[in-house]
Structure 1
């Protein structure tokens, strides 16, 4: 389980706007913003209000795209996130689908954010009843 993740990005404001727009169906919003000598730092949160994704200025010489998976409340929210990412014109990696190789009921979609990071919206549907 991830407590928080910090990404170094080329344009903090643009990337914060991207994440809050595309992941709005998952409840992502800006929780806080503060200035540093290198530029602004933004903390994004989900419905619980705790900043878990931090965006800060790109450190010189850094080229480290990462993978970030954001939980979506339903498969429909995964579809909506993917549609919003498409509207933003970013690179689309994988259309929404079930990924049984991860586990039964793993429904996800993958795309790149404006800085080239591999971003995923995922919903986990677990079987109920006796094992």
Structure 2
């Protein structure tokens, strides 16, 4: 479980637009924003309203791409994330599919965000039985 994660972004408004559009099916939205001398810092939240993903300006001279997995409420939501990412022209690393090497119910799509981070929408289907 991720409590919160901070990403450094070359263009915070572009990153906010990407996440709020592409991951809307997973319930992601802007929760709060504050200004700093380097630009805005934006707290993103899910349905609970608690900011767990923070987007901030890129620290001068650094690049820090990461992997971020965001939980989706259903496989259909993962598919919708994929469709919205394609509409925005995002690089698709892996189309939605079951990843049995992780576990039998792991269904995910992997994308690049505007800053080159590897981002994923994932749904964990409970095992039958």
CA distance in structure 2 between the aligned counterparts of 1:79 and 1:128, rounded to whole angstroms: 22
Correspondence for 1:74: 74
Q: CA offset at residue 61 of structure 1? A: 1.6
Equivalent position SS for 1:59: coil
> 1:1-131 to 2 correspondence within 5 Å?
1-129=1-129
Poorly superposed stretches of 4+, deviation over 3 Å: none
The TM-score with structure 2 as length reference comes to: 0.98
CA distance in structure 2 between the aligned counterparts of 1:82 and 1:110, rounded to whole angstroms: 8
Q: CA offset at residue 128 of structure 1? A: 3.9
The number of aligned residues is: 129
